[in-house]
Amino acid sequence: MHKHHIIPRYEGGSDFAENLVELTVTQHAMWHFAEWQRKGNSQDRIAWKSLAGIAGDEEWIRERNRAGGLAAGKGYKISPEACENLSKIRKGRKLTEEQKAKLRKPHKNKRRPYSEEVRKAKSEKMKEKWSEVSLEDKQAHMEKMWKNNPKMR
């Protein structure tokens, strides 16, 4: 049995018991189909297609992301097969100038560089730690770094 929101959350419905009804998977799919036909909301269409088994993972994710909103692309895990299929779909796709400009912008959560004060403190701490390491251990460490990091060659 599935729990279905009588008033959908995207319309401000709550998770309280009086707003929930238990349905079979078929009933749940039919409900979302009817709501999609009645209101034309893409979220109901996505729910109907995924509950009815019409949409695979990659189509469901693509539809959900196209619909936008809070849930779009946030924290959902997809199978490696679905990820590969999405990658194939995106290959060769031409981006508009607006999309390219958006991709060039730095992300909000991108790591910010350390301040000069913090860099100096970290540097001093590292120097202190390295002064305690033996010469042989330092050489072994540097050889390992040299061997494993192509940028150091």
Q: Render pLDDT for 113-130 as a digit per residue (tens, 0 to 9).
A: 667 888 888 888 888 887
Residue 97 lies in a domain: no
Range of the domain at 29: 2-76
Residue 83 domain-assigned (yes or no): no
Q: Is residue 120 part of a domain?
A: yes
In a domain, 24, yes or no: yes
- Contact (CB, 8 A) for 74 and 49: no
Domain count, the chain: 2
Structure tokens at 48: 């109907």
123 and 70 share one domain? no
Residue 70 belongs to some domain of the structure: yes
pTM above 0.85, yes or no: no
Both tokens assigned to 33: 């189909």
Query: What own/partner pairs with CB < 8 Å and gap ≥ 24 does 92-100 have?
Result: none
Residue 8 lies in a domain: yes
Euclidean distance between CA atoms 61 and 76, whole angstroms: 9
Three-state SS across 7-40? Answer: CCHHHCCCCCHHHEEEECHHHHHHHHHHHHHHHC
12 and 64 together in one domain: yes
Same domain membership, residue 70 and residue 6 = yes
Predicted pLDDT at 28: 87
